[in-house]
Amino acid sequence: MKVILWKDTKKNMDLLEEHGRVSYAVDFPVDESIEEAYISTDKKKVSFRAKILEKREYEPASAKVEGTRKKSAQKGQKAEDLIMKKKTGLKTILVLDSLEKLTPPIPASDFNLGRNKIPSVDTFYEAELDKVIITHKVKYSEDIAPAVSALIHKEMEKGVVLPLSIAETLVKIKKDKGDEFFKKILKRVESELEARQIDPFEAVGIIAAQSIGEPGTQMTMRTFHYAGVKEVDVTLGLPRLIEIVDARRTPSTPSMDIFLKDEYAKDDEAVSRVIKEIENTSIIDVADIITDTDEMTVNIRPNKKLMDRRRINIQDIMEALDGIKLTTIIQNENGDIEVKAQQESYKRLYQLQEQLKVVNIKGLPGIRRAVAVKERDGKYKLQTQGSNLKQVLEIEEVDAVKTTTNDIVEIANVLGIEAARNAILKESRDTLKEQSLDVDERHLMVVADMMTFEGQVRAVGRQGISGKKSSVLARAAFEITVKHLMRAGIIGETDSLTGVAENIIVGQPITLGTGAVDLIYKGYKPDKGE
């Protein structure tokens, strides 16, 4: 979606917020097709948005409207609120709907100027912004079948919380097998659920740590390769589990599973088109780069086999080279491409050689390789080396619901913290299952919740959860003991001894299980009349 984006002052934004619907005179032209305005006050983040109701050319006479507002109002006419961005050079009047403050602000890099992202908002831009339409879904309870809902409520009256998936299965059993069989199964389900209840004040964190840590020591440290595809690999086993709990900013082997919409999933041509669109290809991937110091030129010798494999032609390379400034580009009769810098020097020749190696011909940044894998149902799934979730989801043929990446931090940035929480759970579960280790999902849920409940993905170690505990002794027991104790002594920090580690250190019962219960006897005081 095309929008207008510009840099403005905080003072002007305060005025726009006060007036609600207002006419705003700006110092740049605005295309008729643009319907939304985005405004930045600090260059890096866009903090305000407004709907453009009308656009017209600015005339100096318009500036007098402010002074004639009272006279117009006395005659029963509604005066226009005109605010000027600056005193001179004004070109357009935008009639803006009430200004909306964006929370959180949108990074300037979310706006595109052609194929390039806008690093900072220094002036005005007619930019592209991918609009996300949010619709309100009907209440989830309205989607539940009446029979399923009735069973859940009936069990709740008995004190049994029945998961929706189990309730749906039980209703189906009742329909297929009859009441007698249904009652036997229901009784078994009730007893199983009761047996799996956690006791009050149970140390679920310690149990989760034991349940994940013990099988984690049995893991083999190895890297898994997709069968027959050497270029695409993904780290599994203990190294992958460490990456997850450490909340690494970038995984050692980022990868994506890209699913296509049903109408494209079996279409060979569509699959090939998507691969060509997403696979990032540089000149060095499809050609040899040879430096000729005698002629002071850099020669690009295309490799026909590699070009066919990456679906690249000579014209694609020539178009990519157009972006290199201060060079002369000539295509020889033998198919080689000769690039010569206008300023001849050995230093410039070396710089040109290195620059040509990384010139992007096509594809999305971050995705170095993409392969199509045919599944049993005949549908294709794309597996990639590298990840770029945001731009992949923008492709028309891609199924945005199923497509995922193993980069948890990227999921948090693109889809939100709840999606990141589910990704931590899925990735850790799949990593353990790949090693044939059976760990209850509830332990993994505890870890996922602890890593994400503050609204961002936090590591378990010193830089995250363990390093930010409120207890001084708990932090000191984990790592860098002297530093924590020295700092606590200097600032006079206190420890309330509410956790496990700190109570063990001082030799008193921990406040969990039976240790969490205090018995108080107040005695019997008879009334004065007795």
| Residues 32 and 24 sit within 8 Å (Cβ to Cβ) | no
pLDDT at position 227 = 44
Task: Name residues whose C-beta falls within 8 Å of residue 293's C-beta, 6 or more positions apart in sequence.
Answer: 346, 349
The pLDDT score that the predictor gives to residue 386 is 87
Whether 431 is in a domain gets the answer no
Averaged pLDDT score across all residues of the chain = 81
Of 321, 318, 288, nearest to 303 by C-alpha is 288
Same domain, 118 and 176: no
Quick check: is 336 in a domain?
Answer: yes
Longest alpha-carbon distance in the chain: 119
Do 90 and 153 lie in a common domain? no
Which residue among 342, 362, 382 closes a domain? 362
CA distance readout (Å), 522 to 331, 515, 519: 98, 20, 10
Q: What is the mean pLDDT of residues 146-175?
A: 90
Rg of the Cα trace of the chain?
32
Distance CA 246, CA 458 (A): 8
Q: Please report where in the chains the tokens 């949010």 appear, as a residue.
A: 134
Sheet holding 337-341, edge to edge: 287-292, 297-302, 337-341, 327-331
15 shares its domain with 104: yes
State whether 120 and 160 are in the same domain: no
Q: What is the DSSP string of 478-506?
A: HS-HHHHHHHHHHHT------SHHHHHHH
Residue 385: inside a domain: no
Residue 297 belongs to domain spanning:
281-362
pLDDT greater than 70 at residue 236: yes
Q: Which residues pair with 339 in a beta bridge?
A: 298, 329
Start-to-end CA distance of the chain, whole Å, equals 84
| Domain endpoint, select from 195, 217, 237 | 195
For residue 37, being part of any structural domain is answered with: yes
Mean pLDDT to the nearest integer, 93-118: 81
Instruction: Assign 3-state DSSP to the chain and report helix, strand, coil percentages, each to 5.
Output: 40, 20, 40
Confidence of residue 136 (pLDDT cuts 50, 70, 90): low
> Taking 80 as the threshold, does the pLDDT of residue 343 lie above it?
no
**Pair type for strands 82-84 and 22-26:** parallel
pLDDT tens-digit readout, 169-215: 999 999 998 999 999 999 999 998 888 888 888 888 888 989 988 88
Question: Which residues contact residue 255 at a Cβ distance below 8 angstroms, ignoring those fewer than 6 apart?
Answer: 232, 233, 234, 383, 384, 385, 386, 387, 405, 406
Together in a domain, 301 and 349: yes
Task: Give me the helices (H) in 26-178, please.
Answer: 69-74, 146-157, 164-177
Q: How many structural domains are present in the chain? A: 4
Task: State yes or no: pLDDT of 232 exceeds 70.
Answer: no
Last residue of a domain, one of 154, 175, 195: 195
Question: Could you tell me if residue 302 is inside a domain?
Answer: yes
Strand order in the sheet with 404-405: 369-374, 380-385, 255-259, 404-405
Distance (Å, whole) CA 319 – CA 360: 10
d(CA 185, CA 264): 43
Is the predicted pLDDT of residue 331 greater than 80, yes or no? Answer: no
Are residues 188 and 107 both part of a single domain?
Answer: no
Q: How confident is the model at residue 108 (pLDDT cuts 50, 70, 90)?
A: confident
Residue written as token pair 């002794």: 473
Does 71 have pLDDT greater than 50?
no
For residue 75, give every residue at least 6 positions away whose Cβ sits within 8 Å of its Cβ, in sequence order, or none: none
Question: Using CA atoms, how far apart are residues 248 and 464, in angstroms rounded to an integer?
Answer: 11
What tokens does 414 get? 């693109």
Tens digit of each residue's pLDDT (9 = 90 or more) over 349-380: 788 778 787 777 777 888 888 888 888 888 88
The answer to whether the beta carbons of residues 383 and 403 sit under 8 Å apart is: no
The Cα–Cα gap between 124 and 127 comes to 9
Residue 502 to residue 484: CA distance in whole angstroms = 13
DSSP string, 4-65: EEEE--HHHHHHHHHHSSEEEEESS---TT--EEEEESSSSEEEEEEEEEEEEE--GGGGGG
When pLDDT is averaged across residues 279-285 and rounded to a whole number, the result is 80
CATH of the domain at 304: 3.30.1360.140
Say if 429 falls within a structural domain: no
Domain identity same for 122 and 147: no
What does the DSSP 8-state code read for residue 398? B
**For residue 187, what pLDDT is reported?**
92
Residues 102 and 155 in one domain: no
Pairing, β 92-96 against β 45-57: antiparallel
Most confident of 273-277, 308-312, 357-361: 273-277
Q: Are residues 152 and 122 in the same domain?
A: no
pLDDT value of residue 115: 59
Which contiguous run of DSSP H or E holds residue 103? strand 100-107
State whether 124 and 150 are in the same domain. Answer: no
- Distance between CA atoms of 372 and 355, rounded to whole angstroms? 31
pLDDT at 185: 93
Contact 450, 477 (CB under 8 A): no
111 and 169 both lie in a single domain:
no
Same domain, yes or no: 182 and 152? yes
How far apart are the C-alpha atoms of 298 and 288, rounded to whole Å? 10
Residue 313 has pLDDT above 90, yes or no: no
Segment 321-334 mean pLDDT = 74
CA nearest neighbour of 497 among 515, 520, 474, 464? 474
pLDDT surpassing 70 at residue 64: no
**What are the structure tokens assigned to 49, written together?**
């948005």
The answer to whether 505 touches 474, Cβ cutoff 8 Å, is: no
The domain that holds 499 is classified in CATH as: 1.10.150.390
Q: Is residue 252 part of a domain?
A: no
* CATH number, domain containing residue 72: 2.30.130.30
Higher pLDDT, 490 or 109: 490
Residue from 368, 357, 361 nearest 289 by CA: 357
Q: What is the pLDDT of residues 434-482, one digit of tens each?
A: 888 888 888 999 999 999 988 888 888 777 777 777 788 888 888 788 8
Give the length of the chain: 530
What integer pLDDT is reported at residue 72 of this predicted model?
Answer: 38
Distance, CA of 123 to CA of 148 (rounded, Å): 58
pLDDT band of residue 220 (cuts 50, 70, 90) is low
* Identity of the highest mean pLDDT range in 95-99, 218-222, 302-306: 95-99
73 vs 198: CA distance, rounded Å: 71
pLDDT at 528 (0 to 100): 65
DSSP letter string, 408-459: HHHHHHHH-HHHHHHHHHHHHHHHHHHTT----HHHHHHHHHHHHTTSS---
**Angle 164-177/146-157 helices, nearest 10 degrees?**
110
Single-letter code of the amino acid located at 208: A
- Domain presence at residue 19: yes
